[in-house]
Amino acid sequence: MTSLSSHVEPQRRYQLPISILILGRVLRFALPYWKGLTVTAVAILAAAGFAIATPVLLRWAIDIAISTNIVNGETVIEITGWLVLVAGLALVGAAVLRGTSMFVQRYLAEWVGQTVAYDLRNAIYQRLQTLSFRYHDGAETGQIMVRATQDVEVVRMFINFGGVQLTFTLVLGVGTLVIMLLINWPLALMVWGIMILIAARSAFVARRLRPIWNDVQESQAQLGTVLQEALSGIRVVKAFGRSEFEGQKFGRAAGWLQQRSYDASMVQAVNMPLMTMLGAAAIVLTIWYGGREVVNGNFTVGELTMFLMFLTVLQMPIRGLGWMVMMVPRAATAGMRIFEILDQESEVQDNPAAVAPERPQGHIKFDQVGFAYDPRSPVLGNIDFEAKPGELIALLGLTGSGKTTVVNLIPRFYDVSTGQVTFDDQDVRDWPLEALRQQVAIVQQEVFLFAATLKENIAYGRPDATDEEIEAAAKLARIHHFINRLPEQYDTWVGERGANFSGGQKQRIAIARALLMDPRVLIFDDSTSSVDAATEFENQHAMEALMRGRNTFV
């Protein structure tokens, strides 16, 4: 199992073929939306076609609508009015059609990009939900958050703008090259020699930018981790007077992000003027060589104007190519980080052939069970015991002796290293995971409440529970009267982590949540170790109601 790391192996950061493979895999997420992609491709072809048509129409307007005659030894330029009108209307029509095509391509590309981003975020979330506790033990929350948000947004921008821009650049570039070659191949080859220099420069910049963008995105993740830790542990930070230390730690992370972002900006800032200068060199070359050809009678004024117009048209894809140089390495890095999550395999796999007993009883048996978080340091070895329905099992031992580990093996938060755990004489690995965990309720010392109403928190394990069932569970948990005294009662908004409730109140809410599930096995993981005597008395009564007829571990 590979956890999220803030370091990426050098060979993965610099090899161009890996970038291409990653981007190809990213684009496969867009294939289900092939209809929108097809219309987008047609719109791109149309926009490129009308962009190419504009210089051709301008050449026609100059060479045909403006004719040159010699009268009495003087040159007379005759302007044929109706041809100029036709040429003008044609140019306007081409501009309108090009604008319409560009609108269609941008709109559909945005739709595809947003839909793919939606799919990616859901895929990441679903994968995280299926991964075992062992993965989450080693993963950093900040890393995961950045990958599910900022990295997905980078991929969306690549699909939305990058794919469209790359296709448009290729179509427009090839189209203009063909027409230039047909009209004047020596000049076309000279101009495209400069284009090759631009492409080579772009490839060079892409290689430089990718490791920098990798550092930028890793720095963003690290910054998120530092911020998340500081906010989650704000009481500890203030209690120990470490606000200045945490501020310095955040500042160092922010400073590294600033430095690498500045490095990326410098590479881009140097690249764009060079691209513009190469484009200007192509224009100068065209004017010099084309002007000589016009003087020698090998080139018309319209053809020279068309060449210059083509170079103007090419400025957009040249700028787009520069933008792509910045986007491709960043998108490849983001895609790699996303797929690091999507490619993770859970160590706890659901058996597709598993079948749950029709009437679970809660008979638990440990048979020669061994377990280790790290193979080099076993935590449990040769554990044997049996817990029958209705029994109370007390697990005693020093802190760190493995009590929590034992109970975590029952709902398969982890799989045993050796031996087996059975539930009603059936190996827990042969139970469907969801069915198994519906039969096991855990009340922990640190109760987690969601940012939702009290009703929704109590009914979390049974969203279809009626109001009467929720209130009945709350009464048994001895929290009903407290809830009724609140202004909003069961519709009271809990807030993040239930910060407005005491530890004892949160524990009784958790007991009500467990009661509503009606599980066969109960686990109290030090759930009363940090409350006062009065609260413990209330909680004990609530726990007694919950324990009746169930297999209970404390």
Is the pLDDT at 250 greater than 80, yes or no?
no
User: What pLDDT shows up at residue 496?
Assistant: 67
Mean pLDDT of 479-496: 83
Instruction: Give the phi and the psi of residue 495 in degrees, each rounded to 5.
Output: 85, 175
Residue 535 pLDDT:
54
- What pLDDT is recorded for position 537? 56
Q: How far apart are CA 115 and CA 38, in angstroms?
A: 16
| For residue 34, pLDDT beyond 80 | yes
Highest mean pLDDT among 148-157, 246-255, 301-310: 148-157
Which comes out higher in pLDDT, residue 396 or 111? 111
Residue 6: pLDDT above 60? no
* pLDDT tens, residue by residue, 304-326: 888 888 877 776 666 666 667 67
Quote the distance between the C-alpha of residue 316 and its chain's center. Answer: 30
For residues 249-262, give the mean pLDDT.
79
Q: Please determine whether the domains at 10-342 and 364-553 fall in the same fold group of CATH.
A: no
What is the average per-residue pLDDT within 161-167? Answer: 72
pLDDT of 327 over the 70 cut: yes
pLDDT digit string, tens, across residues 513-529: 888 888 888 888 765 54
Residue identified by tokens 């033990």 is: 137
pLDDT score of 62: 74
Q: Give the per-residue pLDDT at 225.
A: 74
Q: What percent of the chain has pLDDT over 70?
A: 82
Exposed/middle/buried for 375, CB within 10 Å: 0-12, 13-18, 19+? exposed
297 has pLDDT over 50: yes
Which residues, 6 or more positions from 493, have their beta carbon under 8 angstroms from its beta carbon?
451, 452, 453
Per-residue pLDDT band at 462 (split at 50, 70, 90): confident
Least confident of 46-55, 65-74, 252-261, 397-406: 65-74
436, pLDDT greater than 50: yes
Closest CA to 380 of 349, 404, 363, 352: 404
- What SS3 class is residue 380? strand
- Biggest alpha carbon distance in the chain? 122
Higher pLDDT: 526 or 62? It is 62
Q: What would the mean pLDDT of 30-35 be, rounded to a whole number?
A: 86
Three-state secondary structure call for residue 22: helix
CATH class of 364-553: alpha beta
Three state DSSP letters for 37-100? HHHHHHHHHHHHHHHHHHHHHHHHHHHHHEEEEEECCEEEEEECHHHHHHHHHHHHHHHHHHHH
Between 61 and 43, the more confident residue is 43
- pLDDT at residue number 244: 75
Q: From CA 96, how far away is CA 332, in angstroms rounded?
A: 36
pLDDT at 539: 56
How confident is the prediction for the chain on average, in pLDDT?
77
Task: Give the number of C-alpha atoms closer than 13 A to the C-alpha of residue 378, restricted to the C-beta side.
Answer: 10
Q: In what order do the strands lie in the sheet with 551-553?
A: 392-393, 551-553, 521-525, 440-444
Express as a percent the part of the chain with pLDDT over 90: 0
Tell me which of 3.40.50.2300, 3.30.43.10, 1.20.1560.10, 3.40.50.720 is the CATH number of domain 10-342: 1.20.1560.10
pLDDT average, residue stretch 354-372: 83
Residue 546 has pLDDT above 70, yes or no: no
pLDDT for 82: 66
Task: Look up residue 330 and give its two tokens.
Answer: 């960043």
Whole-number pLDDT of residue 234: 65
Tell me the domain boundaries of the chain.
Answer: 10-342, 364-553
pLDDT at 283 > cutoff 60: yes
Give the pLDDT band of residue 76 (cuts 50, 70, 90).
Answer: very low
